[in-house]
Structure 1
Amino acid sequence: MSDAAKAYARVANTTAAPREIEAQALLKAANQLQDVVNKPDPTGVRTKEALLFNRKLWSIFMSDVLRDDNQQPLEVRQNIANIGIFVLTQTAALQINPQLDQFKSLIDINRNLAAGLSGRA
């Protein structure tokens, strides 16, 4: 099991509702990415870890949204899949060529979705 999946599972074992667990995971990813922007890592370790966590988290979301037994309406699933494709593509591009000015869109997407899942949007 990947580190992101383990982290997601650990959070899932709390008493929080599934939407809140997803929001917390998205905020964790956003905060890691923001930390990279705020304190650039000369060795790139923190950058690699933050991007890898984001990619794994979104891979989990994409796997879930593509499952036949997913209870979300088709339109919602399609919207999540479209966002997920963008996030995964952008994350992969940043893994190849990290440009700090390109992190903002990923941070904003994660934070906005977390706010929506938490009912703060």
Structure 2
Amino acid sequence: MSYGASAYARVAQTALSPREAEAAVLLKAAGRLQAIQSDWINQAPALNEALNFNQKVWTIIAGAATAPESPLPAEIKTSIAELSTFIFKRMIDTLIEPSAEKLTALISINQNIAAGLRQ
């Protein structure tokens, strides 16, 4: 990447709001999973790394959203906790019995949450 493009990328990253940053990370995780799903035969070896990244993203989201000091309403906290539980179970299931189809829900959730954060 050229020096100018690198500088622009750094400025763009610092200019993101927290919601935009969360959306960008969710889309990055979704993109990794989508790339593996789209080229399953060649990309399946990268599955563990992509799921690990997704797990880190959702651990941070779930922790921040459900923390006692979080300003979110109780029902939103509960919904995020339940969604996170589903995501973690799906990731474990995918690790145990890998299948490209199992990534669809993870990709869709990440993309939809990111879309909501960008509104």
| TM-score bracket for the superposition, by shorter chain length | 0.7 to 0.9
Counterpart CA distance in 2 for 1:70 and 1:99 is 36
SS in structure 2 at match of 1:103: helix
SS in structure 1 at match of 2:14: coil
Q: Which has the higher helix share?
A: 2
Gaps of 5+ in 1: 1-9
CA contact (8 A) 1:22 1:114 kept: yes
Counterpart CA distance in 2 for 1:43 and 1:111 is 20
Counterpart CA distance in 2 for 1:35 and 1:42 is 10
What is the TM-score when the length of structure 1 is the normalising length?
Answer: 0.82
Q: Does residue 98 of the first structure (1) align with residue 90 of the second (2)?
A: no
Gaps of 5+ in 2: 1-9
> 27-36 or 41-50: which moved more?
41-50
AA paired with 1:19? R
The higher radius of gyration belongs to 2
AA paired with 1:69? E
Q: Tell me which stretches of 4 or more aligned residues in structure 1 moved more than 4 Å.
A: none
Deviation at 1:102, TM superposition (A): 1.1
Question: What is residue 118 of structure 2 aligned with on the other side?
Answer: 118
Residue-pair matches, total: 108
What is the TM-score when the length of structure 2 is the normalising length?
Answer: 0.83
The correspondence of residues 77-96 of structure 1 with structure 2, limited to 5 A, is 77-96=77-96
Counterpart CA distance in 1 for 2:83 and 2:66 is 13
